[in-house]
Amino acid sequence: MTEHNWWLIIGSHWKKIAGGLVGLIFALLVLNYGFWSSLFILFCIALGLFIGWRLEVNQNISKYLNNLFSSKSE
C-alpha cells in the first residue's frame, strides 16, 4: 500500500482508532496505578481541558468560578 492509501484508511476510521487509543491508555493507567487513581487522573485531565476551553472562548474564569461556588441561599 502506498502512503496515500494509509491516510485514506486512517481518515475514514479515525473515530475507531481514537477510541482504541483511549481504551489502551485507560487500560495502561489501570494496570499501573489502579482503577480509582486512574479515574482521578482522568478527572483532572477533563477538568484541565474544561478550564482551558473556557479560557479559550475568552470567558472570565473567575466570574464562572464565583457563580459555581456561590451560595444559592442568599
Per-block mean pLDDT, blocks of 10 residues, the chain (74 long): 77 89 94 95 92 75 73 62
Domain locations along the chain: 34-74
Supply 56's cell numbers: 479559550
Q: How high is the pLDDT of residue 21?
A: 92
Dihedral Cα 63, 65, 71, 72, nearest 10 deg:
70
Q: How high is the pLDDT of residue 72?
A: 66
Is residue 42 exposed (0-12), middle (13-18) or buried (19+ Cβ within 10 Å)?
middle
Q: Would the pTM count as exceeding 0.85?
A: no
Q: How high is the pLDDT of residue 1?
A: 60
First to last CA, the chain: 67
